[in-house]
Structure 1
Amino acid sequence: MFIQPWDACLDEAEWQTWIAEGHDFGPWRAKAGTPPTDGVPTSYYAAVQFTCRAHVVDAPEAKAELLRRRLAQFQPDGDHAPVAVDRPPYGRMLPGIRGPRLEATDVLAKFKYDDHKPVEHRTAVAVHLTTRGQGLDMSTARRQRRRLDRNGT
């Protein structure tokens, strides 16, 4: 992974604290008949990798539209000036913006949620996550249940 110097962590404590604050978790992954405390911690996750063909967006109005979308995402309350090609403050900044438009040509997706484990195990994990209810537990339990509903045994 390419990391610009300004994007690097400040020290090891920064990424360790980020993990410790609940951006990762360990569910109850123990074999049937084994106490959950004897299980191996794991993370359930989804990863999506796109292979894309990039197109440079350079037309002023097209770049303005990209900027409008980013502002709507990062400042949804609208606390920014209108984006217009011929008006300040953004009009004069548009020549310095290059926007990529990505055309997905292939997608690989992985959803690691122990689908190879027995239904009882996956159900118990979802119950434990819901009961604990910290960090990403609730959203993980919802995904686990949705996968159970679709995949069953």
Structure 2
Amino acid sequence: MFIQPWDDSLDEAEWQTWIADGHDFGLLSVNGLLGNSPAVVPTHFISDGNDLLVHLARPNPVWQTIENDPNVTFTVIGDYAFIPGPWRAGADIPLTHGVPTSYYAAVQFTCQAHIVDDPEAKADLLRRQMAHFQPDGDHAPVAVDQPPYARMLPGIRGLRLEVTDVRAKFKFDDHKPVEHRTAVAEHLTERGQSLDAPAARQQLRRLNRIGPWKP
């Protein structure tokens, strides 16, 4: 992931807060076996200290690859929006000469994957995930000897992703003048499509922290 200086995370707390703010779905990328393309699996995850916890179906073909090479990447992307060229045109050029771009936030984790196959360890992993995704506790106990999970646990494998590096990118035109960024955020809010509103919030949040960009 290429990161310009003005797109870089301002500190660790910035990307950690962004992940904690409901960004809990990403792409697990694993190296392909010799002669095969890399495999990419979309999945929910939770953070557990410095690790990420994932579970996948046992028939998933990625297991052989992970067993062969545990070096994986997990990528989370959100708050993205297409920015039309006219929104980015400077005051001294025609609107149609403005160059479009994409806004987005992305956090990329480089990890060592550890497969979890022990039944009780898998149950514990699921309990941690359920505590995050169903905090009201409106589900049956996740236990190795009680239905419905007892009969389902053999059908999954867990992954503890030991994070070895994190790269975060917040691409919101932070090198542009304050007036430009403010105007684009207003355009996003007015357009109101898809993830326009969260993209505008990210741009204004970064604007408030950075102010005018200083190389």
TM-score in terms of structure 2 length: 0.54
Cα contact 1:129–1:137 (8 A) shared by 2: yes
Cα contact 2:122–2:153 (8 A) shared by 1: yes
Specify which structure has the higher proportion of strand.
2
What is the number of equivalent residue pairs in this alignment?
135
Alpha-carbon RMSD across the aligned residues, in angstroms, is 2.7
Matched, 1:2 2:39: yes
Q: What pairs up with 1:134-145 in 2 under 5 angstroms? A: 134-145=193-204
| 1:17 alignment counterpart | none
Q: What pairs up with 1:67-78 in 2 under 5 angstroms? A: 67-71=126-130
Structure showing greater relative contact order (alpha-carbon pairs closer than 8 Å, 6 or more residues apart) = 1
* Larger CA Rg, structure 1 vs 2: 1
Sequence identity (%): 73
| Most deviating of 143-152 and 96-105 | 96-105
Specify which structure has the higher proportion of helix.
1
CA separation of 1:69 and 1:142: change in aligned 2, threshold 3 A: same
CA separation of 1:35 and 1:50: change in aligned 2, threshold 3 A: same
Instruction: After TM superposition, give the deviation of residue 131 of structure 1 in Å.
Output: 2.0
CA separation of 1:124 and 1:36: change in aligned 2, threshold 3 A: farther
Instruction: After TM superposition, give the deviation of residue 84 of structure 1 in Å.
Output: 1.1
TM-score in terms of structure 1 length: 0.72
Q: Paired residue for 1:86, among 137, 141, 145? A: 145
Q: Paired residue for 2:118, among 59, 63, 78? A: 59
CA separation of 1:31 and 1:25: change in aligned 2, threshold 3 A: same
Instruction: After TM superposition, give the deviation of residue 75 of structure 1 in Å.
Output: 6.2
Instruction: After TM superposition, give the deviation of residue 65 of structure 1 in Å.
Output: 2.4
Cα contact 2:106–2:169 (8 A) shared by 1: yes
